[in-house]
Structure 1
């Protein structure tokens, strides 16, 4: 069965109302914030330093994430998430009524106070925003749901920024802004009314109102008490916001000083960047095979560095005209297309990078801690965004780098930061190599994999055709799979790194190495006791002629000691490929060939003897070797 496209979620009540709620919230935040900044710069007659006021706006919006994210995490665990979202969205109506009054009265202090309240509302909404998704979406929908949320958020930010610019050009800007923010807030609340019930994960949680103490505890929960894959994903997520904050902050000055463009060029660059993020997010679901595929994270990281370097490379040499270029004039320069292509690439690979990280955090965090872990992520994001501002000042003012050189510097820093993350969590690199194999040398089709249980112990039994069988199966199955394989294949250079990282069990023949043989069965039993999937190749060797060899008795010993369900599987079309033992194979023979992985109905352990399993696998494989 082919999984539905992520866009089908937009037709489901368990997702659409939430999607509209968060979309309208992000749009409203940016309408008000950008209108306030433009009012300070062009409309209000305050005697204060305008640059100082603009920076104060940024501070007032981000400060609540430090102060109140921990409280938002606690709320997200203690209260039903649908009710909590409605309460937060109702508060948005009251906040925007005050904001409308501030705009109509030209009261800068009131508008700044409203901006702080908006930041507070966003800090409380963030943890519940991401922790509600795993309650309403199935695991295979999690990547698609996150992709839609990320796409919607960035497009809402873009629409709010552009919309504010259009509104502020009108002589009746005050009335339009005041009416717009209130109407959008009301629409957001009405959308939230349709969000289905999402129960409280930890209703007995005692709220701690001490902001500093609880913030420290939540940061410790996220960075110290979670699996290392989750804690380093939090760092990777925040690093993306570090990069994004630098790019978005420097784009106006970059467009003016290096592209010699006007305001329309700034809008064009922001549009291309946001469309890149949206496109990358949307492609994530298809490229991940409807599962949480963290192999896309290194792929995204490589692209962020590559296109950051290309942006630096193509930034020099724009000729300044008598007047600043508008966006149409800029597009008449061939070099501008290289710059816009690099910006699109940064956004595109940013989507590949960030969406799997969010999905991994959600899927590998226990439900009663999920909102608080996401709150820790929000605090960390805010911290990294502040550090990005400091880093920009140091690079541009102290080190006297140009803006393109700053882009080059952070692109090279991206290599160092992600190399550290991937070294600490080699699963990222391992999954990337598996994903690359399944999207380069082979085109893998899957049939019947829904037979594999979503949780609980089971044994997968498959024919053995090539040296990369385990990689192809591991890349296709949504759950982590522990493979049992001949120890000489396990020890192959390069592949050994992948096998060790994946928890593969090396096995030898009883007469070959009794210690390795016995240790393998003990490890298999441990994995099955822990409710994991174990995959074995009962032939005990690679096929030498493409046919299925006789199944050995090891599978019967495993099931006798661990009575769990068995799922027969078959690989089809691998014989003759480079990694098989076909004597007529070649490096380029059957490159990008189409292969199939087929799963059959589960068998009970009492009827899964080796003869029956061999017959089942042979039937699934058919005549295609």
Structure 2
């Protein structure tokens, strides 16, 4: 297994695919940006027509995703993905030859038809692009791999923009140069696709349903059956509504608001693309190589703040395109716009990468392609709606800056709604923020926690933050058993309730609550969940481990499952511990403290005893309380 995402670039099971998909995205963007440049700076003179053609092109490219994704998802399951990619790249070569005909004829309508065919080719590739990774990679590599793919996609947007503009301006040979380059890129892409290792199809007996309507309905029925996947699909689709709306406005925004030539548009796209790439690459490090949905609200907040800020930085509507890139960069206000665009991209990466990885993680391998196809259908619908919304707003005389402002406000409204309906996202965000703000965690033995199946984690109890730290470190959801008074702690109670923690009380205090807690633990374990208990029954007031109580033996006797010992160290003396009196009773004296989470060897259910587990946890903790 690769130690980090960059190691994947040295491995044949990922690198040829990575190059192939990057070249495909690059070719799409060379062609699309050549058209956009022609529409914006060469083919037309009316600002209103420019906006219309640019948004129309966006709709035409995305329309095939809406029409043909259900069928392409089935192809991706039924046939070998590597062989399918090669056939798709051959199709790309043919489409690029047609593009040459369109440029020769100088026909806008024919070039838009070729753009539709490019959308069709991308539709066929889309389900394979995201479903091939779970087939070739391990689960722990998915976040990093998705980060690399998203980075390369937006780097392709940037390089395609630069090359598309540069080739268009090579008059009188611009169209010849465009044709030569797009055909060459498609040929190299086909060559790289030949290097992808061939694996068997995941569902070779699948019978193709050629009716896109019924197959689409069937796909969404399956997606809806998995709530987590459905929410991820909705989140990704909203991201593409937001992104498509913003990106479609940038050419005219660069010209009529910023007063720049096509190279200013290039700078703005560069800032956005570099931001997306940086945010995507940072996801693996920020999530600890696990699928961390807490990054999604973080991303949504940044996307909203910085898209709104762009409006207030500059909302001119009638500037003349007279500034070169060098002149544009001489004004701080323009740097402010570029910083906003970059940060929109960074936070967009935080938003999108965990959602794609979550779909790949939670779907069976023989259904990922069809789920991604369903995702692409919904993405396409949202992107078409994005183009239609922009066209309607333009027809109502809203300016380009106002459309960007409205999009930012809509993102805030949609995000608040999603995180209200699905509090798990907000809960994971709060956990992620708290533990990353307060602690630097040294994690040892995470691989000891099984990726699936029931187990009980036992851990020493040092502070009110223990459960949050453990939840933030584990790749799987953890159901905590905790003292009912800790469960009711202000602010933290929202997190505990959302995480489906189990409040418990001593038998002398509330026997009914105690029995209910044991019943809930048994229920979770029977469902294959991961449960964590603190066998001491209370937070230490001395820094030493209190005697483990026999509750763990009762749990295992009722539901025999493996037990995983875990130790926390470095938390004693923190704001949330009981050193020198009640916890949280003074002003915090330290932030970003070094702490350790150490996980030991799994103890079989037949060897479980409270005394033995206490000894294991004590050894793992060592001398540092």
- Category of TM-score, reference length = shorter chain: over 0.9
| Aligned counterpart in structure 1 of residue 526 of structure 2, from 529, 532, 547 | 529
User: Bigger shift: 51-60 or 495-504?
Assistant: 51-60
What's the offset of the Cα at 1:130?
0.6
Structure 1 residue aligned with 2:11: 12
* Structure-2 change in CA distance of 1:554 and 1:41 (3 Å): closer
- CA-to-aligned-CA distance 1:99-142 (integer Å, 9 cap, x gap): 33444455666544432221111111101111111122212211
SS of the residue aligned with 2:366?
helix
SS of the residue aligned with 1:261?
coil
What's the offset of the Cα at 1:243?
1.3
* Structure-2 change in CA distance of 1:319 and 1:575 (3 Å): farther
* Structure-2 change in CA distance of 1:308 and 1:43 (3 Å): closer
Structure 2 residue aligned with 1:621: 621
What's the offset of the Cα at 1:511?
2.3
Structure 1 residue aligned with 2:327: 329
What's the offset of the Cα at 1:317?
7.5
1:563 equivalent to 2:560? Answer: yes
* Structure-2 change in CA distance of 1:409 and 1:44 (3 Å): closer
User: Bigger shift: 262-271 or 310-319?
Assistant: 310-319
Structure 1 residue aligned with 2:344: 346
State whether residues 44 and 106 of structure 1, in contact with CA within 8 Å, keep that contact through their aligned partners in structure 2.
no
Mapped to 2, the partners of 1:278 and 1:173 lie a distance apart of: 29
- CA-to-aligned-CA distance 1:157-184 (integer Å, 9 cap, x gap): 2211221221122233343323222221
- CA-to-aligned-CA distance 1:184-208 (integer Å, 9 cap, x gap): 1121122122222343333222211
When the two structures are superposed, what TM-score results if normalisation uses the length of structure 2? Answer: 0.93
* Structure-2 change in CA distance of 1:570 and 1:54 (3 Å): closer
State whether residues 260 and 318 of structure 1, in contact with CA within 8 Å, keep that contact through their aligned partners in structure 2.
no
User: Bigger shift: 437-446 or 36-45?
Assistant: 36-45
Structure 1 residue aligned with 2:503: 506
Mapped to 2, the partners of 1:32 and 1:418 lie a distance apart of: 33
What's the offset of the Cα at 1:499?
1.3
Structure 1 residue aligned with 2:362: 364
Mapped to 2, the partners of 1:258 and 1:51 lie a distance apart of: 13
1:405 equivalent to 2:402? Answer: yes
The residue correspondences of 1:447-596 to structure 2 (distance < 5 A) are: 447-583=444-580, 586-596=586-596
Mapped to 1, the partners of 2:318 and 2:388 lie a distance apart of: 31
State whether residues 3 and 290 of structure 1, in contact with CA within 8 Å, keep that contact through their aligned partners in structure 2.
no
- CA-to-aligned-CA distance 1:550-587 (integer Å, 9 cap, x gap): 00001111222222222111100111111111126732
1:64 equivalent to 2:61? Answer: no
* Structure-2 change in CA distance of 1:3 and 1:532 (3 Å): farther
Mapped to 1, the partners of 2:484 and 2:23 lie a distance apart of: 56
1:374 equivalent to 2:375? Answer: no
User: Bigger shift: 349-358 or 54-63?
Assistant: 54-63
* Structure-2 change in CA distance of 1:345 and 1:63 (3 Å): same
Structure 2 residue aligned with 1:258: 257
Mapped to 2, the partners of 1:40 and 1:353 lie a distance apart of: 31
1:428 equivalent to 2:459? Answer: no
1:210 equivalent to 2:208? Answer: no
State whether residues 306 and 343 of structure 2, in contact with CA within 8 Å, keep that contact through their aligned partners in structure 1.
yes
What's the offset of the Cα at 1:391?
2.2
Question: Which ranges in structure 1 are unaligned for 5 or more consecutive residues?
Answer: none
State whether residues 58 and 248 of structure 2, in contact with CA within 8 Å, keep that contact through their aligned partners in structure 1.
no
When the two structures are superposed, what TM-score results if normalisation uses the length of structure 1? Answer: 0.93
SS of the residue aligned with 2:437?
coil
Structure 2 residue aligned with 1:177: 178
* Structure-2 change in CA distance of 1:536 and 1:3 (3 Å): farther
Mapped to 2, the partners of 1:243 and 1:51 lie a distance apart of: 17
1:92 equivalent to 2:92? Answer: yes
Mapped to 1, the partners of 2:205 and 2:525 lie a distance apart of: 33
Question: Which ranges in structure 2 are unaligned for 5 or more consecutive residues?
Answer: none
SS of the residue aligned with 1:440?
helix
Structure 2 residue aligned with 1:34: 33
* Structure-2 change in CA distance of 1:610 and 1:342 (3 Å): same
* Structure-2 change in CA distance of 1:416 and 1:10 (3 Å): same
User: Bigger shift: 247-256 or 29-38?
Assistant: 29-38
CA RMSD of superposed structures (Å): 2.3
1:275 equivalent to 2:274? Answer: yes
